[in-house]
Structure 1
Amino acid sequence: MPHMDLSHYTTREIEVIHRKIKIENKRLKHRCSELEEKYEASELQITQILTIYRHQLQQKEVEISLLKAREGALQEELLKLQQATQAVPLGTDGAPAPTESSYATYGTHHGASAGYDEDMDFEDLISCQQQINRLTNEVSRLQSDVGHWRRIAQVGESA
């Protein structure tokens, strides 16, 4: 309310204005208290959500580590099978041999996991899930290739 010259007002008018100001002040204090409670509840909810996301992120990182280890083991097994079947002519079972370059270059495009960091958020969780999906697909592909080379090795042994 702008600065007023009170000399023009009667005592009764001033009391009415004073009462209105007190009522408005009380309303604003009550509203401020409500907003503070909402703020505190929001902070608590955010903290709980962050805890859940961090836990999920840790789980995804463990899953990525396990998939990377499995991928490495499958690549190693695949290389052993390829070396064991080098003497067998390609195409004896009618299946084309997979290219080795896809295995050699795969590892260079996928670095190690960054590890747990308190600044990680939902985007990091999504990124981890996408990496898990890529690794799962790669593990499936490698398992298929291992099966292919096992069949070639069996054909070579029986020949």
Structure 2
Amino acid sequence: MMDIMTSETTTFPASTAAADAMVAEARFNADGLLACIAQQHDTGEVLMMAWMNEDALRETLRTGRVCYWSRSRGKLWRKGESSGQEQHLKDLRLDCDGDTVLALVDQTGVACHTGRRSCFYKAPRGEVLANITEPEIAPEDLYGR
């Protein structure tokens, strides 16, 4: 494995050799899944956590658009295909254990299905678990429900 220290991000699509190397080092769980944390590349804001299977990981590397595995639907979930709220990949990093990837993305619109920018909007405040951000868009406007 090559160790390159650089502040520049990778260009996507990634080469087939680089994609194969990442897949080979990834440690998918017993369900064939790998945790993926999506983070806004320029601000560091953590947007969401989702799962990738090998196909989602390869598609993400191949296209530069983030693709996940939807456990509830049992199929690939191309972020933004129904809502328009896409994630464009700037870099993809495998952690030291090989069981989590960090997707540095340029998020178009909101990341959360609740209409919020980030899925991490609940925090303890005083005696309650409070919503610390409000939706930026109504979920029915995102998905046409």
Q: Whose strand proportion is higher, 1 or 2?
A: 2
Bigger relative contact order (CA 8 A; separation at least 6): 1
Q: Whose helix proportion is higher, 1 or 2?
A: 1
Same fold (TM over 0.5): no
TM-score by length of 2: 0.21
TM-score by length of 1: 0.19
Larger Rg: 1
